[in-house]
Amino acid sequence: MNDVIQLLQRHRSIRRFKPDPLSAEQVAAILRSAQLASSSSNVQAYSVIGVTDPAKKRELAVLSGNQPYVEECPLFLVWCADLLRLRHACERQQVEMVHGTMENFVVATVDVALAAQNAAIAAESLGLGIVYIGGIRNQPAEVTRLLQIPRLVYPVFGMCVGYPDQDPDPRPRLPLQAVYHENSYSAEPFREAIDEYDQIMREYYRRRTGGKRDTTWSEEMAAKFRQAARKHLRAYLEEQGFGFE
């Protein structure tokens, strides 16, 4: 394996950070790497809000579900799907932009995810650690007000960035046969692969918690998907101009 593959396969989510700030050069390198991610038709339908203000990070930590590492990390990046810049480009050409479509929503959401993952890899290559914060969608309207996010933009997730102050074990992933299909989709490998993975994750949780957590991946997923989550998102997205036509 080469150095890039080794870096990718060493990824861990970091939730404890040293207070040391990032340099301007590090931040620029991370964001420039994000910008060079693939983008659908080069629309680059995303923006990033870097939050270093302690008061704002403290409020974002609460809004994200009382996650302390949002406040403690030196840099909190809020990754936003963004159609506003595209509307301005259309107006420069005296064209009225059609924005309220499912396709535009998907394109912007995928664009920001690709850019963020490039940023994550760049940060880790610099010896930094990251963790994604989906909790930014818990109260998106409040996040929108706090960060003055305009219409046609919405926060997809946050990302804590900083020097790691912990060394957690990598979290095991599903066996490859559960996620890779050759030539056509097949659900046949699921049962055996999930049985194997459940045992791996049970041992992982036991080891990580000193025996206090005794559960499997299937049990965790059943608890997560037994009810709808964040049902407020559709109304919020429509208010922000992301339609579903």
Digitized pLDDT (tens) for each residue of the chain, 245 residues in all:
899 999 999 999 999 999 999 999 999 999 999 999 999 999 999 999 999 999 999 999 999 999 999 999 999 999 999 999 999 999 999 999 998 899 999 999 999 999 999 999 999 999 999 999 999 999 999 999 999 999 999 999 999 999 999 999 999 999 999 999 999 999 998 889 999 999 999 999 999 899 999 999 999 999 999 999 999 999 999 999 997 76
To which residue do tokens 């049970």 refer? 202
Distance CA 125, CA 50 (A): 19
Q: What is the pLDDT of residue 245?
A: 67
The tokens for 127 are 């010896």
- Nearest Cα to Cα of residue 201 among 167, 227, 175: 175
Q: What is the pLDDT of residue 243?
A: 76
Residue 75, strand partner residues: 161
